[in-house]
Amino acid sequence: LWEHSMTMKSSDPQMAEDMARMQKELAAMPPEQRKQMEAMMAAQGMKMGMAAGAGWPAMSAKVCLTIEQAARDEMPPPAEGDCKQTSMQRSGNTLRMKFACTGKQPVTGEGEYTLEGPKAHRGRTTIDTQEAGKTVRMEMNHSGRWLAADCGAIKPRPSSGQNRP
């Protein structure tokens, strides 16, 4: 069981406005309603908080990897969409990859992960997509830490072995 945390920013001013509005709505919720929403997200292994000074929520999700997935040193595919790694290079403890996703809203991206031993990693990912004929870029900083050998109720993600170039 791993916990992946991330913060993000977007080149799309509308997305920043939407995020600010969502934050205000969450802050204005009665405590009981906010607790219900947080409990619903926690049941799916997710939680959100405010990233200090970033203006974007910090998000975290619990992810289950099988022993086989962990042994392959590969990044798991997203839970949704048809994404394929188009390249992956490893140099020492750093993985660099590029990917492309098809579907309703195709995206391309690249990322770099630095493995900080067997129980932690950090990195960055850049994703490009099209919105109303314009390229929108999202940049994410993320980290991961190993929590436990037992994933509990969280199911393993699909293997990306079939998606390797």
Specify the pLDDT at position 98: 92
Which long-range contacts does 67-70 make (Cβ < 8 Å, 24+ apart)? 68/159, 69/156, 69/157, 69/159
Contacts of 107 (CB under 8 A, 6+ apart): 100, 101, 127, 128, 129
- Asked whether the whole model's pTM tops 0.95, one would answer no
Nearest in space to 127 (alpha carbons), one of 155, 97, 163, 164: 97
User: What is the predicted pLDDT for the residue at 132?
Assistant: 78
Distance CA 41, CA 46 (A): 5
Residue 111, token pair as written in the block = 């990322």
pLDDT of amino acid 156: 82
Task: Map residue 115 onto helix, strand or coil.
Answer: strand
Task: List per-residue pLDDT tens for the chain, 165 residues long.
Answer: 888 888 877 777 666 676 667 667 766 777 787 677 666 665 555 555 544 444 456 778 888 888 887 776 655 555 555 778 889 898 999 989 998 988 777 889 999 989 888 889 999 999 898 877 888 888 889 899 999 999 888 888 765 544 333
Enumerate the β-bridge partners of residue 136: 129
Instruction: Take residue 118 and report the two structure tokens written for it.
Output: 């067997």
The CA–CA distances, whole Å, from 135 to 46, 128, 130, 138, 147 equal 28, 6, 5, 10, 37
Looking at the DSSP bridge assignments, the partners of residue 140 are 8, 125
- Nearest-angstrom CA–CA distance, 38 and 19: 17
